[in-house]
Structure 1
């Protein structure tokens, strides 16, 4: 039986290799794949949008994390120019039947890998590597010992000085608050920066996305949700911090009195409830530190990918407008939705600013797709499919550290199935791969 399984695995790797070669040839040698291993695919826990990060680079190493078919936490690393991954099956497992229970990773400025996994209103699960750039982990440990009993949506963010931020929701859907911890390299210690940065006032909760720019400014945007039901999402709000998360202000420079509430928040764009506004998408910044927030909500009764961005101290909106099919968001749990939540990247290394949106849409046979345009030109969107086959209910997650440092685009990909309302499909493991784009300029208008 072991020999048979080994043969099957080798055949899978051969098929993946040949598929990557064919894709590279058909796409003008611009796209290739790096096969990593076999991952849990019975829901979208490995590919949900709010993973920070599924894939990350530090120095010459790229790291990855995912659950295998037995729900074990798998870690991997490779040198960037290698196709060979070193994998470690850790002793830690996750409750993979709940797609909220994701794995997030980051590498600090000293090269230590930090890992957090398996949270949905549960106690903290966190550890870090024993040595720099190692996959071997310490025993589970606490961070601060404060507000670590009811955690959801753990996310790591790297600061330019090598320190880390750790975001999570304390409390439940519709009643949660945003907590932020920071890791100091000099003291090798976590401390709590904010115990309630964005306060739902026991009436609502904030579903956020964040990014850190080259100067270390931390940007957060969020939607409010009034109840557990996704249809009660409304509005896009914004804040930023220039001191690593200690103090926060509006885009105008006005300082917030913390915590931020519904009444005091800066509203980047007003969107009513029941407009199919999705939560926990993505944001980025341009070279001037202007934030770009990507999400989707209804435009003429059809959910469209929308970009809310800051230009000349004023909030503006771009409606991509290329979708044709209507659908309705409603209910709780992880949803089976005909489109993914989007991700966004900006390329302003030339005389113009290019915007790229990564997404998956049933209209395009659930392939990995990218829509590109040049800001303030014609706003015509060029849409390309980056994969040749379906990735199921996958959502985009790219190596932001690699993109920010070297302008190389690597996406974590896996074909997964999501049954609506936290359902679990009867599916075998599927290939976990990195989709690599050699030259993004090929897709610019």
Structure 2
């Protein structure tokens, strides 16, 4: 018990740079271990997992591949260090880092799981009963465009229904599909078969979130080819009716599908700017969207983390500016990159809009790091580490529902190795952990 409190105080100290005596007013960090996971690439820790962790009615669920590439599920009472762990009947080719596991719990308590996709037929199952870790047989959702699935993501709607979005097609020529699950009928229906249209020339790499009012926010970069260097621009759309109709931030209605010609451009970013795809966004309690990503401005050789957000009159882009090392982003497959894609959270503190970017950077020893800005009206970001040891090529994913409800940041953490260009390492499994941080209210 004493060791736990000492660790908490240490993490609080490095995070806020303040005296340990002030820790009770600052917050705390705690870590728990679930089990051993596959670490030969980053498939368990890619940033686009929605979600790796999810909390429902006081229980937190987790999913990962073990060293035999078996899909493992786990749950605990919120805040407990003791996990219940179940190896499922399902396996996947974990050697492809695209083939992540995504989970979500619907409003009736059923766990939904999708796994093993990189232009594959849909792999989807749900639990046999509420609050169970036992999965039923695989099933289709709607039977429409389910044979070339990539990047599956679940989202929880107010009221308990779910959204499921994925790419139909390949890199450089795919379209965005959206389905909705009804807890009343226990069935999926197709909402959008082609929400964002690549027109056979490009595809959208998106990030999405749902705010407390139920508004769906989506932003994306365009990619012109399988080469990541062809990423360009940041676009935006929102829906106030569960994804049926869409509009720009100005309220102007979109004529669907959205394409390169009619999209709203939140930020113009040229190709070959080291612009990464599939990052994160967040909408605050007032429905204001914040997008986190990284790219290199034309005046420098160093890619920097950026935050793109909407003011009352226009979109703003702010460079966090703390990085000092140049690198070039290009090629195909999962890349070994010296920084992770970022996650973003935002909250209101004493009437000021605060935000935090969670990331990993080789400059900082590949630790779990956080950059905090306590007032976005200014440009002051304080950067600190939440872990003392390297997490390899880890990228951050967090429990979106726990953050929405309790303002607790619960991160899925595992030290992994990513060989450049979809390579596979040969290392022993490593600990799958959950790191919890609760900032000041």
Q: TM-score range by the shorter chain?
A: over 0.9
Distance 2:7 2:229 in 1: 39
* Matched residue, 2:20: none
Match of 1:398 in 2: 398
Counterpart in the other structure of 1:173: 171
Residue 301 (structure 1) aligns with: 301
**Preserved contact between residue 182 and residue 192 of structure 1 (Cα < 8 Å):** yes
Q: Aligned residue for 1:290?
A: 288
- For 2:57, the equivalent position in structure 1 comes to 59
Q: Residue in 2 aligned with 1:23?
A: 7
1:43-442 aligned within 5 A:
43-299=41-297, 300-438=300-438, 440-441=439-440
- TM-score normalized with structure 1 length: 0.93
Unaligned runs of 5+ in 2: 13-22
SS at match of 2:131: coil
Alpha carbons of structure 1 residues 95 and 19: separation in structure 2 relative to 1, 3 Å:
farther
Q: In structure 1, how many angstroms separate the alpha carbons of the residues matched to 2:221 and 2:378?
A: 29
Map Cα deviations across residues 189-228 of structure 1 (whole Å, 9 max, x no partner): 0000011000000000000000000010000000000000
Structure 1 position 248, deviation (Å): 0.5
Residues 299-334 of structure 1: per-residue CA shift (max 9 Å, x gap): 322100001101104101111000000000000000
Cα contact 1:158–1:164 (8 A) shared by 2: yes
Number of residue-to-residue matches in the alignment = 425
Aligned-partner SS, 1:302: coil
CA, structure 1 residues 295+25, in 2 after alignment: closer, same or farther (shift >3 Å)?
same
Q: Distance in 2 between matches of 1:20 and 1:96?
A: 34
SS in 1 for 2:7: helix
Q: Are 2:355 and 2:376, in contact at CA under 8 Å, matched by a contact in 1?
A: no
- Do the aligned residues in 1 keep the contact of 2:349 with 2:374 (CA within 8 Å)? no
Structural RMSD (CA): 1.4
Q: CA deviation at 1:25?
A: 4.2
Q: CA deviation at 1:294?
A: 0.5
How far did residue 167 of structure 1 move? 0.3
Instruction: Render the CA deviation track for 1:77-123: whole Å, top value 9, x for unaligned.
Output: 01113211001000100101100000000000001000000000000
Q: How far, CA to CA, are the matches of 2:9 and 2:197 in structure 1? A: 51
Aligned mates of 2:3, 2:245 — CA distance in 1: 49
> Equivalent residue of 2:401, what SS?
helix
Distance apart, 1:20 and its partner CA: 6.2
Query: What SS does structure 2 have at the residue aligned with 1:199?
Result: coil
Native 8 Å contact 1:251 1:313 kept in 2: no
- After TM superposition, the score normalised by the length of structure 2 is 0.94
Q: What secondary structure is seen at the aligned counterpart in 2 of 1:27?
A: helix
| Cα 1:377–1:243 shift into 2, 3 Å | closer
Structure 2 CA distance for aligned equivalents of residues 403 and 46 of structure 1? 21
Once residues 4 and 49 of structure 2 are traced to their aligned partners in structure 1, the CA distance between those partners, rounded to angstroms, is 25
Cα contact 1:308–1:317 (8 A) shared by 2: yes
Shift of 1:349: 4.7
2-structure distance, mates of 1:18, 1:365: 28
Q: Distance in 2 between matches of 1:394 and 1:114?
A: 24
Gaps of 5+ in 1: 1-16
User: 2: distance between equivalents of 1:347 and 1:276?
Assistant: 29
- Residues 1:241 and 1:153: Cα distance change in structure 2 (over 3 Å): same
